[in-house]
Amino acid sequence: MVGLPETWQAITIGQLLSHTSGIADYDGDELTGRDGPFYVRRDFTEAELVQKVSQLPVEASPGETWSYRDANYLLLGAVIRSITGKFHGDILAEEIFGRLGMTASRVISDQEIVPHRAAGYERRGGTLYNQAWVSPTFNSTADGTQYLTGRDLKHWGRALCSALRPGSRYVGADVDTISGRRRGSRGRLRSRLVCPHPPIGSHRGA
């Protein structure tokens, strides 16, 4: 990828994956609201988003500290396209979902008819409402934006357990949901992967 800031030159793929790049995030109303550079109801190209992320401040030197930042995975999606020439969602479908039999999993599509699709929601004052609309751009970046089912997560869990603990038996995943998410729209999924014991990974919600 060309035209990136000098301060990014030492950042590795591993640091983007592990949230240790030091790159700031594009979260919060000031950045994603109507007057912000990442207004979530406007469409952008992937190149435009990368350029906008490049203008955010660097919070720490690469590898210095861990800090969860969605911008890391947005950039990874752009890296995948620059190397393969393909949309990251197509790579997921070919290399992960298809191979593991995760037949319902996909990147979010507002146009595609998905049988039994669950509607997103948000909670305001104890009342549920339909989730706030965001542009197709922000439903297709690599920092989340995927539809998954419990059955497909089971396929993924089995494959991960087999890879990390050969010969182990997949026990299951403890999953619950938490209301609310950044951009005020989606519920959060909190999970813990067990194969068989103790848990080998967890996620507090996204």
Which pLDDT does position 113 carry in this prediction?
87
Give strand pairing partners of 147: 106
Give strand pairing partners of 129: 122
Smallest Cα–Cα separation from 76: which of 98, 46, 105? 46
Q: What is the mean pLDDT of the chain?
A: 84
Question: Which amino acid would we find at residue 92?
Answer: L
Q: What number of other Cβ atoms are within 10 A of residue 170's Cβ? A: 19
Report yes or no on whether pTM surpasses 0.85.
no
Smallest Cα–Cα separation from 193: which of 166, 169, 175? 175
Does pLDDT of 22 surpass 90? Answer: yes
Does pLDDT of 32 surpass 80? Answer: yes
Among 28-37, 38-47, 50-59, 104-113, which is the least confidently predicted range?
A: 104-113
Q: What is the mean pLDDT of residues 61-70?
A: 95
Q: What is the pLDDT of residues 168-189, one digit of tens each?
A: 665 555 555 443 344 434 444 5
Return the H-helix or E-strand segment holding 146: strand 146-147
Structural contact between residues 22 and 88, judged by C-beta atoms closer than 8 angstroms: no
